[in-house]
Amino acid sequence: MFKSIALLGLLSLSFSSFAQEANYLTNKLMVKIKAGESLSETAHVKGVRNLFKNVYVVSTDNLYALEDDLKNDPAVIFFERSYTAPKQNIVQKGIVIETADKAGVGFNDPFASKVWSFLDSAAYGVSVNKAYANMTTQAQTTTIVAVVDTGVDYTHEDLKEVMWVNEKEIAGNKIDDDQNGYIDDVHGINTLSRDANGVASGNPMDTHSHGTHVSGTIAAKQNNGKGIAGIASNVKIMAVRAVPNDGDETDVNVVESYIYAAKNGAKLINCSFGKAVNEGGKIVSEAIDFIGTEYGTLVVAAAGNDSKNIDTNLTYPASYQNETLLVIAATASSGAMSSFSNFGLKNVDVAAPGSNIYSSVPGNRYASYSGTSMATPTTVGVLAEILSHYPKMSALQLKAHIMQTVTKVPSFATKMQSGGRIDLDRALNEQPPQL
């Protein structure tokens, strides 16, 4: 389904620059069959693995012959190729930023003052400082957030204490201790590295920087005297590597990442990637519905960086119509929408700071990146903090609450459904309904 995919943290790389020819794996096919049925035997099926419910990924030595076979199989509802993008050079540009006055004022982390999104709504931030100063409730539970991205530097000084740990797995013993299908998945999985049986590895180390930057915005350890502070105070990051350094991730890896995350307790999935063309595929969208219904997981997706209306210039997954999908536009420190940000009254839900966002990068370093990729984890950090205070909220309630408690911006009224920028202080102090 994902034809032209790239990370959305870049001003220099946009959907419109992608090649338009279809690219797909020739040894994999995703197949949905009727409930209670099984695939007919064929010489072209070399392996079958369940993704979720009655959706399978089939390994084959002849994609086209297998497709011909499946066209006549009465058990098959539909099948899809696993699309990928042309390889892209991902060059993220650091930007020199000025320290924002009073940003990060409540934290002892030395670079917290550079995270301008912590400022109050009047200064065009998301009121992180104000929320912590005025907090009237306590975080009750830890929120698990899956970052489906280029991986995460789980040894980073500002992230190692907030990494999700699979307590049932013994690190390094090369055994699937918890029998969940993955070996040594202590902090997550890497769908880009597989064994001879096609099983994803348990090492989601970031070899790029994008996923580590996203993770720091959400969850960098607060008040540890190092680096920055993340927005959420009681959160764990599950690292799921599905995005290569050149941005050519496949549909099957995206779906597997979503299912793994939800099954292992992630209530939020940060999705900072997308594509400009959909080949008519349904399985990624069906996976979002499945994890929302079965596990109460909300997928939060970047709107994209083409300055386009994605109601008419569709972008995926952002333009899917899933109820448990929240789509994010980016704003600048001026209060306006970022010049690169996509928008859409129908398909974009809220806005959040995404220009010049300072966060962690691999090797105990820090840098400033821009993009709807950065607005998305800003939103996820706010959502994670809300959910830790109100853990009984469903995915739909959480989505509705964050949209209802935005700071309204008149110029956003025709750009997104909520017409505003997210606000942590309002969201925490205006108790969600039905709780």
Q: Which residues are catalytic?
A: 149, 210, 373
**For helices 251-263 and 283-295, angle between their N-to-C axes, nearest 10 degrees:** 0
Q: What is the dihedral of CA 374, 380, 381, 384, to 10 degrees?
A: -170
Contact 300, 373 (CB under 8 A): no
**For helices 372-389 and 395-404, angle between their N-to-C axes, nearest 10 degrees:** 110
Place of tokens 């220099």: 12
CA distance 218 to 146: 11
**Looking at residue 113, what DSSP letter applies?**
G
Contact 80, 281 (CB under 8 A): yes
Planar angle of CA 412, 100, 94, nearest 5 degrees: 85
- Written as one string, the DSSP assignment of 331-370 is E-TTSSBPTT--B-TTT--EEEE-SSEEEEETTTEEEEE-
Q: What is the dihedral of CA 177, 180, 185, 49, to 10 degrees?
A: 130
Terminal-to-terminal C-alpha distance of the chain: 38
What SS3 class is residue 284? Answer: helix
